[in-house]
Amino acid sequence: MDNNRPVFTVSDVNNYIKAVLNNDENLKFIYVKGEISNFKMASNGHFYFSLKDDKAMISAMMFSGYASKNTFQPENGQEVVVFGSVDAYPGRGTYQIIVYQMQEVGAGQALLELEKLKKKLKEEGLFDESRKRPINLYPKAIGVITAPNSAAIKDILFNLKRRYPIADIYVFYSAVQGDNAAKELLNAFNIAQTYPLDTLLIGRGGGSSEDLSAFNDETLVRALATSKMPIIACVGHEIDSTLVDFVADKRASTPTGAAELATIDQREILEHLSFSIQEMEESIRGRVEELKEEVSSYKEDLNQSMLNLLRQEKQLLEHKKATLDALNPENVLSRGYTLTVDENGLPIKIKNSRPGDKIKTIFKDGSLTSEVKEVEAK
């Protein structure tokens, strides 16, 4: 025995097997044909039975919520086609099919044909996720294809107007079950394609497989694959999958759910706007505080610059004053020098002086007047 390999408990193994089965898309919502055996109806309404063919057998159960909708009483030996998913029960280490719908083989043949069509369209790529388009949650115009005076149209209109009242809504009425339903749905779709819609909703309330058959029409499904605008399908409930659900860009289990997928709630917009306004106010207040700090800083810098400028001007003024003081004649006289001027008070020049001119000599403490006797030029 290899002691380096991990040791699992029985619960570990069974839970792992359950996880593997639950995550395998090939085992979800599948059709299985077989003969009923070991049928038992529990007191709570659940169906417990086995499905077998000539080579194998598999356990099956149908919860009372689904069993109560069954259109016939299952019996041992009866050949049926069931629609369900494979699941495991870890407590016992068993697996089984959880059945959502059951049809007798006569009616079940239609389900098998539907499964073939589904497989063909899937292989052609009509159901690929890469084709799915996002839904514009702020639409200007929304189209709705459904039956007139139905609970579906009432739910859709009520919720669209409640959530996003500013969108224009165009309704294209059509039968949703019966022999002409597929043709009317296709005609309504073609008309809707001529309108400037952001989103197109198509659907109805729940019903039996026969009631929903129009939404499995191949021509209709292929037409929806060419839609100019994204499509939201809202046909029946979660287990009532139709081909329209697979080709649509989004699928809702109810008409109300389709309205919610098609729009954003105005309350969310108002909350977002309120939050944005609050953020803007806080941002503005923060910026104002920053500007105040910047202005305060600029004020300090300006004050300092003015003080420096005044100091420089003061020093320059004092320097000029000192220069003027040095050139002031009175300061020269105070050092013992004199200043001689002519009769007009102008400094005398030898070349302009003549004997007999009156001249005035200025001292620090007075002046005297004299007459030129002789002029001698150098």
> Residues 223-256: pLDDT tens digits?
999 999 999 999 876 556 789 999 999 999 888 8
Residue 48: what pLDDT? 95
pLDDT range class, residue 1, cuts 50, 70, 90: low
Strands (DSSP E) found in 55-185: 57-62, 79-89, 94-104, 141-146, 168-173
Residue 176: what pLDDT? 93
Same domain flag for 137 and 99: no
pTM: 0.53
| Mean pLDDT value across residues 263-284 | 86
Residues spanned by the domain of 344: 330-371
Distance CA 24, CA 27 (A): 6
Element (H, E) at 311: helix 266-327
Element (H, E) at 201: strand 199-204
Same domain flag for 103 and 225: no
Cross-strand bridge partners of residue 298 = none
The verdict on residue 377 lying in a domain is no
Same domain flag for 277 and 177: no
**Tally of domains within the chain:** 4
Residue 208: what pLDDT? 67
pLDDT range class, residue 342, cuts 50, 70, 90: confident
Same domain flag for 69 and 118: yes
| Mean pLDDT value across residues 329-353 | 79
CATH of residue 45: 2.40.50.140
* 339 within 8 A of 333, measured Cβ to Cβ: yes
Token pair for 308? 């420096």
Among residues 123, 157, 191, which one ends one of the domains? 123
